[in-house]
Amino acid sequence: MHFNIYWANLNPTIGREQAGHRPVLVISNDIENQMDIVTVIPITSRKKGRKIYPNEVLITLNDKEAILLCHQVRTISKSRIDGKIDVLDEGIKSKIVDVLCMRFG
């Protein structure tokens, strides 16, 4: 896993799914990434006073606090991906894996 962050169009959605054109963290492995789909975690900006829940991970993106919504993992078509934004540093990867293991454990 490379933990690259891309822009993606998540519309259309249903209910409380994260919608819109937003950053996503690609978490699928290199073998899966050879297909026409990728598995992603949507990212949202952190509003002042917003609590971070155990199924979320706080990151810095473009010098601002952002939240990985690990409870909204989804697989999307690569055609929804627009462009690369950033790569997460090695230090945060283990925290993300821990939250995902808790989520799916």
The 10s digit of each residue's pLDDT in 35-57 is 999 999 999 999 999 999 999 99
Please check whether residue 59 is in contact with residue 66, taking contact to mean a CB–CB distance below 8 angstroms: yes
pTM: 0.91
pLDDT (tens digit, 9 = 90+) per residue, 93-103?
A: 999 999 999 88
Cα–Cα distance, 82 to 96 (Å, whole number):
23
Fold that domain 4-104 belongs to in CATH: SH3 type barrels. (2.30.30)
Using DSSP bridges, classify how beta strands 37-45 and 81-87 pair: parallel, antiparallel or unpaired.
unpaired
How far, in Å, are 2, 4, 48, 54, 78 from residue 7 at the CA level?
16, 10, 23, 25, 11
Residue 39: in which H helix or E strand, if any? strand 37-45
